[in-house]
Amino acid sequence: MPEEDSIVALRGRRFPGGEYTVQHWENFLLTECTGAEPLPGGMVHPAALFHLPIAGAGTSIAEMFDLGQAESDVSILIESYDWELHTPLIEDVPYRVTGEIIEAERLSDDRGRFYDRIQFLFNVSDRGGTPVARTRITWRYTRNTL
């Protein structure tokens, strides 16, 4: 189990940031896999908010696992994905993305088993800085304490 201090020290860590553009083909595949019809006017299916903010902020799921020192690929429990969509995402439009870790703490459940709760915040804006979306991802990194 990682030292608690190394987890708590993640608070405030910022990702490099960057841009992300959802291409038409990508939107088509996202929409198709959800069983939905294409949205009008090149609107991007909201499912893009699973990956757009992470990739756009210059990180990856693998890095997020590593930062929390995940003990295995199955040691992550999803607590929540909270999405705020201020305006529709549009295909072929570049969006700026920033990201950071806003919470990192060690907790225990009602059985006394430890886990680390890490919350990531990603902000998506247009090139002029107008907010487009915000995602807050909260994961539990379960710990094998044997």
Sole residue written with tokens 């896999």: 33
Strand-by-strand arrangement of the 94-108 sheet: 18-21, 94-108, 114-125, 131-142, 76-85
CB 79 within 8 A of CB 140: yes
Tell me the pTM.
Answer: 0.92
56-98 pLDDT per residue, tens: 999 999 999 999 999 988 899 999 999 999 999 999 999 999 9
Whether 53 shows a pLDDT value over 80: the answer reads yes
Q: How far apart are CA 141 and CA 133, in angstroms?
A: 26
pLDDT of residue 145: 63
Q: What is residue 47's DSSP assignment?
A: G
